[in-house]
Amino acid sequence: MSISQVIADFITCGIESGGWMEMDRIYLQNRVLGMIGEVALDTYVVQPVDVLPIDLMDVLIAKAKENGVIGNTLAETEILEGELMDLLTPPPSVVNAFFAQHYEKSPTEATDYFFELCQRNDYIKTRAIAKNIVFPIETAYGELDITINLSKPEKDPKEIAAQKNMTVVDYPKCMLCMENEGYKGRMNYPARTNHRLIRMNLDGEAWGFQYSPYAYYNEHSIILSEEHRPMKIARQTFERLTTIVEVLPHYFVGSNADLPIVGGSILSHDHYQAGRYEFAMERAPIEKIFAIPGFDKVTAGIVKWPMSVIRLQSVDKKAIVDASEYILAKWQQYSAPELSIVAFSEDGTPNHTVTPIARRQGKLFEMDLVLRDNNVSEEHPDGIFHPHKDVQHIKKENIGLIEVMGLAVLPPRLEKELVEVEKYVLNEANAIAEYHLPWADKMKENHDFTVENVKGIVQQEVGLIFTRVLEDAGVFKRDASGQAGFNAFIKSL
């Protein structure tokens, strides 16, 4: 196929996206022509297109490199990819209008439209996400999801070195700011030309709804404040979460905790994560129901989960917000020193917060409050309720919202490291990392490994370590003294 035909087919896809009309074809084709370093169009036909836009984009990028418009760096490639795919994306006002039209029919139809758009225009990096290693494992708490994250491309060392000499630019302030919408990007900042946001009004404030470019689960989305301000768990958090599941009842929505050790990766910008996915924690049963005096409209219970979770249910939105605020306030002041649970450090720094998750179950509002403690000790300088040293060879990063709900996001280093572990337990030549040796030796004691079973066993053992990671993060342990402590806190309510 000639490059002229590729350009014509690419623009046909752009017109079909709803942002342009056939009258715009010549203008758009000339735009692409210039972007890839060509000077003239040859003969082409306007025809139905049966290939994906991203495949046409690959041809255009290759031609741009051939013509010397861009080099081979990842940043240059992604910037031009974004500019090309922006032509397949209606302007923000049009996207929002289409979303509203679909929403009049159903919230699901609206998110289906937006999700499809963000996949088709390559804002959601579907090809990169497909590289992730994903497998389920059975545990005492049900089936957990394990992901080894391979989706984010690694930069060339030369690019990293070049970035050190670049002028510091404080725009956008962070990768969640609304100013990212349409931003071209630069060598040290990702391209966002084809990025779009759905505007939301949450209790009188301006917020934006977008999908995550590197999703960890189905329809992984982010809801972010227009104002660049730090994360804060407070009554307004619970009000916003319940409003969001009113607007998008087919989605869950949750917030990272607002303290550094137990929080997520971005605490500088107030935001939530949502999606159309059932996590293991949602499936986990309530193992003990209790009543909170003064909150007769709310059913409360302790969830069977490695972390310490209180689940609230009510048909009354305000009642569930009130109960959530009450429990947070109690937890912020609560200490049980015999269990290393201390509300304030010696200098008065607060240690207690929650990771809240809201969803709808029919007419019921459901709120899970995961109790978090940010304290450290001499024995656990990384965090008392953080993955302990003996499991950090698998997971040493913060346990944020996604992990809390039962989906492990493990570092890319494990892709190669686990292959060496498999070789080691099979007594083959290997280059196993030293920090994996105690774990690997223990596995050799407990299993008879064969070439056929080694991968499955190692994956299962990785999953069991993730379970331990969650248990480490649980403030009230699953043993007798921990559960007695949990019951004492419940009684304090």
- pLDDT value, residue 156: 64
Residue 223, φ and ψ in degrees, nearest 5: -120, 115
Decide if 441 contacts 449 (C-beta within 8 A): no
> What was the pLDDT predicted at 152?
80
Listed by start position, the domains of the chain span 134-152+229-493
Residue type, 241: L
- Inter-residue contact 381 to 356 (CB < 8 Å): no
Strand order in the sheet with 221-225: 198-202, 205-211, 221-225, 271-275, 252-254, 352-361, 364-373, 309-314, 299-303, 286-290
The reported pLDDT for the residue numbered 164 is 66
| Neighbour-count burial of 5, counting CB atoms closer than 10 A to its CB (0-12 exposed, 13-18 middle, 19+ buried) | middle
Q: Helix, strand, or coil here: 309?
A: strand
pLDDT of residue 153: 75
pLDDT value for 157: 62
Count of CA atoms in the C-beta half-sphere (13 A) of 249: 10
CA–CA separation, 230 and 177 (whole Å): 12
Looking at residue 182, what is its pLDDT? Answer: 98
CA–CA gap between residue 117 and residue 272 (Å, rounded): 21
Q: How many CB atoms lie within 10 A of CB 144?
A: 24
The pTM for the full model equals: 0.95
Give 10-residue mean pLDDT values along the chain (493 residues). 97 96 98 97 96 98 98 96 98 98 98 98 97 96 96 69 74 96 95 98 95 97 97 98 98 97 90 98 97 97 98 98 98 98 96 98 97 96 97 96 97 97 98 98 97 98 98 98 98 97
The burial of 211, by beta-carbon neighbours within 10 Å (0-12 exposed, 13-18 middle, 19 or more buried), is given as: buried
Q: CB–CB of 244/251 below 8 Å? A: yes
